[in-house]
Amino acid sequence: MSSSILVTGGAGYIGSTLVPQLLAAGHRVTVLDSFMFKQNSLNHVCFHPNFKVVKGDIRVESTMTPLLKEADIVIPLAALVGAPMCNADPVGAKTINHDAIEMMLSKMSADQRILMPTTNSAYGTGDDNNFCTEESPLRPISIYAREKVAVEQHLMQRGNAISFRLATVFGMSPRMRIDLLVNDFTYRAVHDRFVVLFEGDFKRNYIHVRDVARVFMHGIANFDAMRGQIYNVGLTEANVSKRELCEHIKKQVPDFVFLDAPVGKDPDQRNYVVSNAKLEQTGYMPEMSLSAGISELIKGFTMIRNTVHGNV
């Protein structure tokens, strides 16, 4: 069934992978993006008659209101993503990641559907075993995670919404980010051949960007069964430590060297193992393995050697 879908931030890392899939499925897609990174990541869909693009800011009510009126489904991807970026601009983090979403929710009718990415970074350090399900207490460490937690609480009061708590995303995308952990370590392996690990035993979960796009497609197709729920979105086999991640990379870049720092600590204190069983029970399973994603990144980084593709 064809729907009219508004994707804010649709030219970003996830959006530039998701939008072509939405169009291929027959949906009418409007992208609102500020193009703050000067990206041209949607060039390849401009030919499509069902694609519309608007340059604008999600914080501007007069921009958002007419676009929301046309939408059956809203996928709000626009955000300042990640702790470093939010720490650098805490005012922007609040107005974009929180206030603009609150304004959007206030203008949507009860029958409009929302599929929103939140973050499993809100688990912080998990419980005594660092194991987290959707029912685990939230201990957000960063400004980014705290704003996402606040938005998710309001989102769940609607009923006509799904929250996807995304694991750390990896993989090649038309709007590339090198600063994400798997992408960053693989880039360093390809170009520098070494990395120094701080607290290399800290674990987190990962998911390929194409599988993130697929989970939104899955949520649209199964919305009635999944509405009003929160789902962790990660690759279960990729609950790995930073050291284990480096070992995966070394299998494909044999001269990659990684060392544990004798002193110091990682400013990012996230350390958890995440259960994705609830989402898997809906029939969704990721398709891209960690090793396949690393292989893809190695090919991509053969073509990329600069620092303009990250959020920080």
- The tally of domains found in the chain comes to 2
Q: Residue 119: enclosing H or E segment and its boundaries?
A: strand 113-119
Does the residue 125 lie in any domain?
yes
Q: pTM of the entire structure?
A: 0.94
Whether the CB-CB separation of 233 and 205 falls below 8 Å is answered with no
Q: What is the pLDDT of residue 309?
A: 54
CATH number at residue 263: 3.90.25.10
- Claim to verify: residue 226 and residue 255 sit in the same structural domain: no
Residue ranges in the chain assigned as alpha helix (H): 15-24, 61-69, 83-88, 90-94, 100-107, 143-156, 181-191, 209-221, 223-226, 242-250, 277-280, 290-303
Residues 107 and 213 in one domain: yes
Residue 146's domain spans which residues?
Answer: 4-170+206-234
Same-domain pairing of 106 and 52 = yes
pLDDT of residue 144: 85
Q: Does 37 share its domain with 14?
A: yes
In a domain, 176, yes or no: no
**Does 95 map to a domain?**
yes
* pLDDT computed for residue 188 by the predictor: 96
pLDDT at position 122 is 87
Is residue 175 included in any domain, yes or no? no
CATH number at residue 166: 3.40.50.720
Whether 309 maps to a domain, the answer reads no
Whether 18 and 165 share a structural domain: yes
Q: What is the pLDDT of residue 83?
A: 80
Residues 196 and 212 in one domain: no
Domain-located, residue 41? yes
- Domain identity same for 51 and 148: yes
Nearest alpha carbon to residue 204 among 273, 133, 288, 119: 273
Diameter over CA atoms, the chain: 57
**Per-residue pLDDT in tens (0 to 9) along the chain, 312 residues:** 899 999 999 999 999 999 999 999 999 999 999 998 888 999 999 999 999 999 999 999 999 999 999 999 999 999 998 888 888 898 988 999 999 999 999 999 999 999 999 999 889 875 567 899 999 988 888 888 888 899 999 999 988 999 999 999 999 999 999 999 999 999 999 999 999 999 899 999 999 999 999 999 999 999 999 999 999 999 999 999 999 999 999 999 999 999 998 887 777 788 889 999 999 999 999 999 999 999 999 999 999 876 655 555
Residue 44 included in any domain: yes
Are both 88 and 223 inside the same structural domain?
yes
Tokens of 50: 């069902």
**Which residue, among 257, 130, 119, 108, has the nearest Cα to 195 in the 3D structure?**
257
